């Protein structure tokens, strides 16, 4: 099978840590060029912007955007207007209306738009969803606490307007919750703590509901030491614990399950399938929940934050 020529845009942490290895190992795409103001990958043709890449390489059929969400809309629109397929890092856009406009533009142009949620591809997420089918859910606790300095060193954009703050990792938890819980999630209230020198929250709690079950969400960007990416679901058959970002599953009376990290390999396989089948995959539920938390949130001021 001929590999699809792909352009990788925004050569930063996630492009290097995850996209590059997945592309090198995978058989669906050929990494043909990059676009980034500063970042380069040795041995790969480099452009400074997605627009110049598109103009110079009409043979590149697919573009994968790894830039921060604020500003990605213009890049994605340019890709779609040029008739190329586009894969978006999470969150798919800085706002719901941007994401919806991209969906519409891709549909009109007849290209594939894939809004990825890498955490949904974690090893045990599908097994967690399958186990919950048919069970009565009594309560859900989502705890996503990580160290911003460890995982996002120097990324000032993440606390700037449109950067999502603690919702940048938190939306990963919401992408899993919307995948495994059978009933829609609804935001009831939220508390958002924003450093006095920044625009986006560094910690948040959200009260939600899924069917009749209360869902308590706790996001923190200042957790040092042990890092927590856990979802617990109380059911009529005992408690499900999905740990470590979806890679470990603990079920009542069973040995824990865990699998290797194949998240980005699975995303690129899915992107190739969508292109082949002339389809798009855009699920905006996690983004809407974040928007609703911002809409309903009670604001508090946290101490100034520096990296």
Which residues are catalytic, by number? 90
With tokens 């790894």, the residue in question is 66
* Residue number closest to ligand NAP, CB atom: 12
Q: Is the dihedral of CA 284, 285, 287, 293 positive or negative?
A: positive
Strands laid side by side in the 85-88 sheet:
45-47, 29-35, 4-9, 62-65, 85-88, 113-115
**Residues at the contact surface with ligand NAP, assessed by CB under 6 A:** 10-15, 36-39, 66-69, 71, 89-90, 118, 151-152, 155, 157, 168
In angstroms, what is the minimal distance from the CB of 147 to ligand NAP? 12
In angstroms, what is the minimal distance from the CB of 263 to ligand NAP? 9
CA distance 9 to 36: 6
In angstroms, what is the minimal distance from the CB of 253 to ligand NAP? 34
Centre a 10 Å sphere on the Cβ of residue 55 and count the other Cβ atoms it contains.
12
Indicate the residue among 202 and 213 with the shorter CB distance to ligand NAP: 202
Indicate the residue among 70 and 207 with the shorter CB distance to ligand NAP: 70
With tokens 């509901």, the residue in question is 209
CA distances from 141 to 126, 240, 243 (A): 18, 11, 12
Indicate the residue among 261 and 269 with the shorter CB distance to ligand NAP: 261
CA distance 237 to 170: 27
Indicate the residue among 48 and 183 with the shorter CB distance to ligand NAP: 48
In angstroms, what is the minimal distance from the CB of 287 to ligand NAP? 12
């Amino acid at each position: 099978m001929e590999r699809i020529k792909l352009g990788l845009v925004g050569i930063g942490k996630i492009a290097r840590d995850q996209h590059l290895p997945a592309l090198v190992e995978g058989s669906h795409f050929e990494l043909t060029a990059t676009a980034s103001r500063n970042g380069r990958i040795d041995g790969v043709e480099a452009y400074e912007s997605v627009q110049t890449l598109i103009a110079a390489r009409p043979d590149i059929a697919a573009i994968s955007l790894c830039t921060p969400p604020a500003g990605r809309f213009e890049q994605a629109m340019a890709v779609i207007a040029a008739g190329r397929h586009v894969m978006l890092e999470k969150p798919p856009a800085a706002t719901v209306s941007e994401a919806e406009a991209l969906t519409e533009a891709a549909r009109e142009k007849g290209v594939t738009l894939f809004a990825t949620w890498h955490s949904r591809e974690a090893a045990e997420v599908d097994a967690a969803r399958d186990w919950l089918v048919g069970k009565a859910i009594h309560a859900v606790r989502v705890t996503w606490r990580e160290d911003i300095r460890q995982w996002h060193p120097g990324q000032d954009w993440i606390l700037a307007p449109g950067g999502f703050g603690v919702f940048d990792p938190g939306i990963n938890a919401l992408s899993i919750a919307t995948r495994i819980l059978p009933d829609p999630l609804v935001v009831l209230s939220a508390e958002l703590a924003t450093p006095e020198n920044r625009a986006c929250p560094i910690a948040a709690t959200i009260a939600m509901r899924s069917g009749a079950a209360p869902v308590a969400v706790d996001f923190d960007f200042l957790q040092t030491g042990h890092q927590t990416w856990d979802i617990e679901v109380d059911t009529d058959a005992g408690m499900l614990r999905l740990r470590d970002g979806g890679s470990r599953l603990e079920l009542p009376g069973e040995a824990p399950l865990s699998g290797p990290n194949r998240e980005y390999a699975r995303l690129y396989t899915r992107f190739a399938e969508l292109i082949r089948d002339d389809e798009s995959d855009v699920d905006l539920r996690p983004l809407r929940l974040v928007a609703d938390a911002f809409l309903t949130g009670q604001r508090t001021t946290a101490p100034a934050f520096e990296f």
